[in-house]
Amino acid sequence: MAFLELNVLNNPQDPIIGIDLGTTNSLAAIFRDGRPHILRPHQQDSRIPSVIHFPKSGNPIVGRAAREHAYSHPGTNLFSVKRFMGRGLADVKGDLAEVPFPVSETEHGLLQFDIHGKTYTPQELSALILMRVHDVACQQLDGIMPQRVVITVPAYFDDAQRQATRDAAKLAGLDVVRIINEPTAASLAYGLDQKKDGTVAVYDLGGGTFDVSILSIEEGVFRVLATSGDTHLGGDDLDRTLVEVALEELRPQVGELAEDPAFQQGLRLAAEKCKIELSRAPEADFHFVVPERNLTWHKHVSREEFEALVAPLIERTLDACRRAMADAGLHNDAIDEIVLVGGSTRVPAVQRRVEEFFGKKPHTELNPDEVVAMGAAVQGHILAGGTRDILLMDVTPLSLGLETMGGATAKIILRNSPIPCQQTEGFTTYADNQTGVDFHIVQGERELAADCRSLGKMKLSGIPPMPAGMARVMVRFQLDANGVLIVTAKEESTGTQASIEVQPMHGLTDDQVEEMLQASFDHAREDFDASLLANLKTEIGTMVRATAAHMDDARDRLDPETVADLDEAIAAAQRAADGETDVKVVQRARDELERATLPLAALLMDGVAKQALTGKSLDEV
């Protein structure tokens, strides 16, 4: 009997998908048949806008449909939720200008959005986005629904922000196997694509955050040497410069309306359009209309003007590059390749300044919107046991330490230390017969503990009375491969011990996560169906419009049977979109419509091909 050789190493049975949870867009990928694949809906843009629409009644809608609502129903949508993750009110003042809902803070520093009488934390909002991304991904996977995921975060995210991301995934019903850094993920995708050893700088300017990471790639080992960044600098801020220009002109005209969040949101979307146009053309029209206010405003913007506006922001990214290079102990000429990540790196001025800074043309072959998700899929493949050929060795972006007497910080684990790592420091008592020591754990580079992020407090008690300075308290910081910190304190002479797994401010407690999960389980099925229904209906609308636009032309060229079939499918889909509430029926109508439009699509493709070939001789073809 012959044995079948099963290629289990290549496609693990229980795959782990990678999810890029972005400020502006999110997407998922999976590693299969030797390379990462983006999980995109058929013939559609792979990106799912990280936008949530809240109808006055009914469930929130996420993604492309929500983004369309942002234009038609301003004031009912949330953008850039990622900017609020793991943050308190004081941190996000500037970002609230275009949030059309009241925002408050709980005692534990947790943000809450009051939306149509229901409160949502940033974690719950991100969970909505994750659920949508996961749905779309599973639709492409023929029935497998991997619950295990690798989620990416900006490298410069602190502990609170990472923990918030982890909790969001839990709330979405996902099992987070690993949180990895976005630039590191991008380097994996790049390295796999290029198969070249060397020193690489990843410059990642996303929708809301900036990261730079310096890596050494050697025989499949990706080792991060240093990372730096700014968690509050991205495409949103580039848009903001144009918004400010517009507001200056508009304020005298519209008065208080200028401060209205919905107005600001609309204005930023217009600014974003203008920015994107300016990456293609030397000049663009900045166009803003509010029909119900009878307001039409536009301004001609040249690329030079825009570049002058954003120059200070670009310089800030280069400051972080300088810091990362200094921490890596390298000169700029040691960089062999620069990888650009994030939609904002399409801005020509960004590419130019990066090239000037490193003295080398950046690598632009990979799609800057997709590399992060692809890299996350590669890491998922490694963690699922799919390969031992690739290994990622990452670092912790920020120093971890303790507050000492007088409010100073004693750094225990320095920034850019490889993880996992551990470090033990000895401390002693400062007063005679002191029986307890309080520890305040902080994260950051500042000298004063009050200027760093507070990660938590713990107390070691039960030290036997002895003169000051005699007790020997050993404090151990353990940082695992996920960047989760565990702090243990032990008095050596008695063996008294205390330890905590750090739970940062602005975060959810385990109990809160449990409670929210329970609440969502109660509503899970209906919520899920409602959001799926809304998305399906939007999709049908788009398909029907697209089909109608081509039908007049194509009607004569299709055989009558096909036309009849198509007309019927359109009518059925329309009926389903108008009043049907059973998800299965709507799904079937949508699938039926897609099948019926296939001959039309083929005809149109054929037409395009013929047009392209017209007037060319055979040799040219």
Partner 1 sequence: MAECSKCGERLASVLVCDACDALQDPASPPGPFEAFGLPVAFAVDESVLKKRLLALSRKMHPDFFGLAGTAEHELAERNTAELNSAHKILADAFRRADHLVRALGGPSEQDERQMPQPFLMEVLEWNETLEDAREAAPESPKRAALDSLETTLQTEREEAMDRIAALLDPLPDTGSPTLTELRKELNAVRYLDRTLSTLREIQLEQASST
Residue 153 near residue 200, CB atoms below 8 Å = no
Between 147 and 422, name the residue whose CB sits nearer to partner 1: 422
- Out of 114, 259, 315, 355, the residue judged to bind partner 1 by CB under 8 A: 315
Between 218 and 248, name the residue whose CB sits nearer to partner 1: 218
Q: Does the footprint of partner 1 cover residue 34 (CB under 8 A)?
A: no
Q: Does the footprint of partner 1 cover residue 436 (CB under 8 A)?
A: no
Tell me which amino acid residue 358 is: F
Q: What is the dihedral of CA 596, 597, 602, 603, to 10 degrees?
A: 110
Give me the numbers of helices (H) and strands (E) for the chain, helices first please.
12, 29
Q: Does the footprint of partner 1 cover residue 322 (CB under 8 A)?
A: yes
Q: What whole-number distance in Å separates Cα of residue 478 and Cα of residue 318? A: 32
Between 34 and 418, name the residue whose CB sits nearer to partner 1: 418
Residue 111 β-bridge partners: 105
In terms of C-beta density within 10 A (0-12 exposed, 13-18 middle, 19 or more buried), how is residue 256 classed?
exposed
Q: What whole-number distance in Å separates Cα of residue 33 and Cα of residue 11? A: 7
The token pair at 591 is 């699938």
The active-site residue out of 204, 272, 337, 370 is 204
- Out of 119, 139, 140, 417, the residue judged to bind partner 1 by CB under 8 A: 417
Judge whether 159 counts as a catalytic residue.
no
Give min distance, CB of 328 to partner 1, in A: 13
The active-site residue out of 68, 124, 182, 239 is 182
Between 216 and 531, name the residue whose CB sits nearer to partner 1: 216
Judge whether 182 counts as a catalytic residue.
yes
Radius of gyration, alpha carbons of the chain: 27
Place of tokens 């848009």: 239
Q: What is the dihedral of CA 7, 9, 14, 16, to 10 degrees?
A: -130
Report helix, strand or coil for 203.
strand
Judge whether 45 counts as a catalytic residue.
no
Between 129 and 485, name the residue whose CB sits nearer to partner 1: 485
Residue 73 near residue 171, CB atoms below 8 Å = no
Judge whether 82 counts as a catalytic residue.
yes
Report helix, strand or coil for 389.
coil
Closest among 550, 541, 539, 542 to 602, alpha carbons compared: 550
Q: Does the footprint of partner 1 cover residue 473 (CB under 8 A)?
A: no
Task: Fill in the per-residue mask, 168 to 207: x = in contact with partner 1 (CB under 8 A), - = not in contact.
Answer: ---------x------------------------------
State which of positions 43-62 bind partner 1 (CB under 8 A).
none
From 73-81, 115-123, 387-395, 606-614, give the range in contact with partner 1 by CB under 8 A. 387-395
C-alpha distance from residue 522 to each of 234, 516, 527, 591 (Å): 38, 10, 10, 29
Phi, psi of 202, deg, nearest 5: -105, 120
Task: Fill in the per-residue mask, 132 to 171: x = in contact with partner 1 (CB under 8 A), - = not in contact.
Answer: ----------------------------------------
The token pair at 290 is 């509010």
Task: Fill in the per-residue mask, 477 to 516: x = in contact with partner 1 (CB under 8 A), - = not in contact.
Answer: -xxxx-----------------------------------
Q: Does the footprint of partner 1 cover residue 359 (CB under 8 A)?
A: no
Between 221 and 458, name the residue whose CB sits nearer to partner 1: 221
- Out of 261, 362, 420, 541, the residue judged to bind partner 1 by CB under 8 A: 420
Give min distance, CB of 381 to partner 1, in A: 11
- Out of 326, 524, 546, 612, the residue judged to bind partner 1 by CB under 8 A: 326
Total Cβ atoms within 10 A of residue 144: 11
The binding site for partner 1 (CB under 8 A) comprises 177, 218-219, 221, 223, 312, 315-316, 319, 322-323, 326, 379, 382-385, 388, 391-393, 417-423, 478-481
Give the catalytic positions in this structure: 20, 82, 182, 204
